[in-house]
Amino acid sequence: MRAWSGMVLVALLAVARPVDAATDRLVDVVLAEIASSPVMLSDVALARALGVLGLEPSSGPITDAELSQFLDVEIAAREAAQLGIEVSAADLDRAWQAAGGATLGSRLEAVGIDFAWARRLLESDLRVERFIDLRFRAFAFVTDFDVDEALGPGAHDEAERARTRERLRAEMVRRAFASWEKDARQRVAVRTVPGVTGPWPAPFSLQMPTTPPSIR
């Protein structure tokens, strides 16, 4: 079994705090590995800050549940790459603009994050979405009977039926993807670092600092 002792504490992140502790440096740690590739705390932190790869933006500590979610979706991203699922430069540019564009760039620069790193995570997120579309959403069929059963008796207009159909389809996709993730965990070598558990303080934040209103 691979020895983890030399991997738990690694080089300091060159990430400066955006406030008055500009000379501080934060320790990055290996949290897990997927097929012998390390997954760093900073990887999870940036994905969460961007709201990609299954994570929602948050300023709180990074939890074990968030790490587990990141690992599951990262496995899908790697599978999608192996299948040759591509993301066009135009689609990536649109995702970059939707994520904040120049404003996001300024926030990344403020905490010393390489733009290319953030764009790679956005690209992985798009690749996973396409993987889900091709592997699951394309085969999620909702019948009229399914819609009738979900709505129950009574009159229902076409708009309500359409919303219900989409909700049922989304649920089917979620269940199918969750089942795939569970199976993938059995096929792919995923290991967390023994003895390293959350929560972990987020090594950086992309949220703008809030300034309390002045009292006049």
Domain that includes residue 99, residue range: 9-192
Determine, yes or no, domain membership for 216: no
Collapsing DSSP to helix, strand or coil, 170 comes out as helix
80-128 per-position pLDDT tens digit: 999 999 999 999 999 999 999 999 999 999 999 999 999 999 999 999 9
CATH of residue 71: 1.10.4030.10
More confident residue, 159 or 22: 159
Determine, yes or no, domain membership for 210: no
Determine, yes or no, domain membership for 38: yes
Residue written as token pair 């997120």: 125
Per the structure block, which two tokens stand in for 154? 């009574």
166-178 per-position pLDDT tens digit: 999 999 999 999 9
Determine, yes or no, domain membership for 109: yes
Please give the model's pTM, rounded to 2 decimal places: 0.79
Q: How confident is the model at residue 143 (pLDDT cuts 50, 70, 90)?
A: very high
CA-CA distance, 142 to 31, in Å (whole number)?
A: 40
Per the structure block, which two tokens stand in for 199? 């929560």
Determine, yes or no, domain membership for 134: yes
Determine, yes or no, domain membership for 3: no
Determine, yes or no, domain membership for 203: no
Collapsing DSSP to helix, strand or coil, 158 comes out as helix
Per the structure block, which two tokens stand in for 173? 């996709």
The residues near 213 (Cβ < 8 Å, ≥ 6 apart) are none
Radius of gyration of the chain (CA): 21
88-99 per-position pLDDT tens digit: 999 999 999 999
Could you give the number of structural domains in the chain? 1
Determine, yes or no, domain membership for 209: no
